[in-house]
Structure 1
Amino acid sequence: MPATAGATSGRRWVQVRRSGVYLLGRLATGVVTLLALPLLCYPRYARRWANRHRDRAGRLLGTPVAARPEVGVAGRPWADAATPRDLLWLPVNAVLGVTLGLLVLLCVGNLLPAAVATPLWWAFAPADRPRLFIDVPVNDWTTALTLGPLQLLLLTASAYAGFPAIARTHARICLKALSPSANEQLTDRVAVLTRTRAEVLDAHGAELRRIERDLHDGTQARLVAIAMRLAVARQAFADDPRDEQFVAGLLREAHESAEAAMTELREVIRTVYPPILADRGLAGALTAVTTQCGVPTRLDLGDLGRVPAAVEAVVYFAVAEALTNVAKHSHATSAVVRARRTVAGLSVMITDDGTGGADERLGTGLAGIRRRVLALDGVVDVDSPAGGPTIITLELPCG
């Protein structure tokens, strides 16, 4: 029990420190906003400034914040629907950030005089003696040993109780002020669905053409060769039933070609819906994928429950593609795949300790992963700074 209490207290102090740093940072950005207000009123700069605050607020709250693009209306930045919110955030941040930041600065700034006044008040000249509770001079040990610890206790308790709550309040106000309205969310959603629908149709057409090409150039060609060999064998047997060696050779070649055709056909079927999913389920399929990865990979599975077949296929292909990238490009020494069932659906995270720098534009398969996930109304987040680590998070609905 004491160990648990100590761990809880330790986590709380970490929150206090993070919250204090966050609020002091908002004080700094509030001052910068006031000084650079004319420049920040330009929509493109206002968007970048607002995005910076959204990212910090999301990290403090532990809430994923979807990235917002640059002001995208070519030649008409004022026509962007989010521009009014970005501009409104400027005075809100200036007032709110400076006010709350000054409270933190006042609290932290008065901790130092209390810490110094308690043991060292006598080292100062009478005119320069430290003061407690703003204007109480410390001229004797009685004052130092009573008011000093009392000020330390009160300010420390205020920081412990207040900093996290104040920081969360600021972060929530930030996200609320910069969040789109219901109509804007609906418009954005329609745009995303329109784009993903077009991408899915293109991908579906390309996949059908690939399957048709594989069947035509591979399996169909082998079946034609088998038919021709069987026809020659049949004719040879009819012409001379005693020529068993020639007929046996044709039948052997036909048998080998049939086995090769079956192998190719299974490979085509596997790319449509992997049989391992039907045989062993998502957990078994992920186990097989991680075991076969060229980099040591740990699989951490929660209780996945019942997952729709379409979601299983997307997760399987996404994890397989991500681990292929890890083995080929990341120079990683280890990777982790975590899958959890959440209230909203299925959450999958693929992490590696490689060099990072993964970019969808370089053709590393990330674009294909995103396309598959978006087709099911899911969300993909790729965090891959230079130097690593790379974290790919998939959120898929399972309703």
Structure 2
Amino acid sequence: MRERWTQTRRSAGYLLVSLVTAVATLVALPLLVWPSKARAWAHWHRRRAGRLLGVPVPARPTPPHGEPRDGWEIRTAPATRRGLLWLPTHLLTGLPFGLAALLCLGNVFTGLWAMALWWALPAEAIPTLQGEIPVDDWATALTAAPLQVVVLAALFWWGGPPLARAHARICLRVLSLSEAQQLTQRVEVLTRTRAGALDSHAAELRRIERDLHDGVQARLVATAIRLGVARDALDEAPEGVTELMREAHEGIEEAMTELRNVLRTAYPPILADRGLDGALSALAAGCGVPTRVHVEDLGKVPAAVEAVAYFVVAEALTNTAKHGRATRAEVRVRQTGTGLSLQITDDGVGGADETLGTGLAGIRRRVLALDGDVLITSPQGGPTMIEVEVPCG
């Protein structure tokens, strides 16, 4: 019973507010046809409908940080159209539904008022029931008035909540996204969150690289130096002690070599020092095949994308030097409308195959992790071309 009473009370408030907002929509229609106003007005109604039905409603979207509002307005044109469609829909539903609730509840209160206070009113202000029956004696006040109260209260008790829910469902039906639009919106959200996650990941990699380089590696170097000095000082010591010192010294040096490899694979320090252009030039200079590097003005590129580009070029040039038997290679990097584009070519013998463990599979894994594309063209006899595009959004 308490739950039913709560539903009836909430439905009454919902329908009466819907009547008021429908009248406000009619009065302020020239103002509400403005796109931003229409979206805000529609979202407010969505939230009301969602609360009544117990349906979660997403927060009102706002332009992502740094995105021009004009472009965002264009992308959210479907939401604007739904907001504009809601204006006549609300007039056609909010007015009659709200008026029905107002007439029903208003006559309930009229019956209660007439039943209790008819005797205190002047003759010209005598209330009437159903617009026809004057309440001018106790017989009418104690029969017709209670009957009106009971009938109309029961009518709203059973009909009010379904009427409010019907209006709320119409609201959500008109203003909710279609499945295709929901999917598109979800992809946009995932794209933005992925970009944020990649930036955070890249920052964390840089922190790890810095901590390892400045902390662990520095201590290992100092220990190796001390062990080397100690081994030199123990040249005259028993053979066993000298051998142990030598093994410890060599172990420290091997650990430092492995640590440097970890640092290079986690986040190449040269990227932080020289940027992508300088890092690729260093790779070309160290390649066994003469390599030309062309890097256009890239603007701001996420650190994670820079790292992937570096590893792609490094792996491709390593394959060229080891397996391609090429006499020259070329690397081109440019910014496209959607991301970073790389093209690595050589004049070698071709025949590169991802299934043979030549490192091409590793390139594909790294690129696909950022939702990028990889195209490898390597016919027998050459040339070999690797084309990569990585989103920068």
Q: TM-score, normalised by structure 2?
A: 0.53
Report whether the alignment pairs 1:66 with 2:61.
no
Measure the CA separation in 2 of the matches of 1:112 and 1:102. 15
1:116 equivalent among 97, 113, 124: 113
Measure the CA separation in 1 of the matches of 2:226 and 2:132. 106
2:97 equivalent among 89, 96, 100: 100
Measure the CA separation in 1 of the matches of 2:183 and 2:72. 25
| Residue identity in the other structure for 2:33 | C
| Residue identity in the other structure for 2:161 | P
Equivalence for 1:322: none
Q: How far off is 1:56 after superposition?
A: 1.7
Measure the CA separation in 2 of the matches of 1:105 and 1:155. 11
From the superposition, tell whether residues 165 and 223 of structure 1 become closer, same or farther in structure 2 (CA, over 3 Å): farther
Q: How far off is 1:67 after superposition?
A: 2.4
Cα RMSD over matched residues?
A: 3.4
Q: Percent identity?
A: 55
Report whether the alignment pairs 1:125 with 2:117.
no
**How many residue pairs were aligned?**
240
| Residue identity in the other structure for 1:31 | V
Equivalence for 1:168: 165
Q: How far off is 1:31 after superposition?
A: 0.5
2:205 equivalent among 202, 208, 212: 208
Contact 1:47 1:70 in 2 (8 A): no
1:155-175 deviation per Cα after TM superposition (whole angstroms, max 9, x unaligned): 322333233222222112111
From the superposition, tell whether residues 70 and 213 of structure 1 become closer, same or farther in structure 2 (CA, over 3 Å): closer
Report whether the alignment pairs 1:189 with 2:186.
yes
Report whether the alignment pairs 1:23 with 2:20.
no
Measure the CA separation in 2 of the matches of 1:117 and 1:239. 120
SS in 2 for 1:122: helix
| Unmatched segments (≥5 aa) in structure 2 | 64-68, 253-368, 370-393
1:365-391 deviation per Cα after TM superposition (whole angstroms, max 9, x unaligned): xxxxxxxxxx9xxxxxxxxxxxxxxxx
Contact 1:43 1:78 in 2 (8 A): no
Q: How far off is 1:39 after superposition?
A: 1.9
Within 5 Å, give how 1:1-399 maps onto structure 2: 9-69=1-61, 72-74=69-71, 80-235=77-232
From the superposition, tell whether residues 195 and 120 of structure 1 become closer, same or farther in structure 2 (CA, over 3 Å): closer
From the superposition, tell whether residues 100 and 237 of structure 1 become closer, same or farther in structure 2 (CA, over 3 Å): same
From the superposition, tell whether residues 192 and 44 of structure 1 become closer, same or farther in structure 2 (CA, over 3 Å): same
Q: How far off is 1:30 after superposition?
A: 0.5
Contact 1:19 1:167 in 2 (8 A): yes
Q: How far off is 1:79 after superposition?
A: 7.8
| Residue identity in the other structure for 2:178 | S
| Residue identity in the other structure for 1:40 | L
Measure the CA separation in 1 of the matches of 2:55 and 2:216. 50
| Residue identity in the other structure for 1:57 | A
SS in 1 for 2:164: helix
Structure possessing the higher radius of gyration over alpha carbons: 2
| Residue identity in the other structure for 1:141 | W
| Unmatched segments (≥5 aa) in structure 1 | 1-8, 242-246, 259-374, 376-399
Q: TM-score, normalised by structure 1?
A: 0.53
Q: How far off is 1:50 after superposition?
A: 0.9
| Residue identity in the other structure for 1:21 | G
From the superposition, tell whether residues 154 and 135 of structure 1 become closer, same or farther in structure 2 (CA, over 3 Å): same
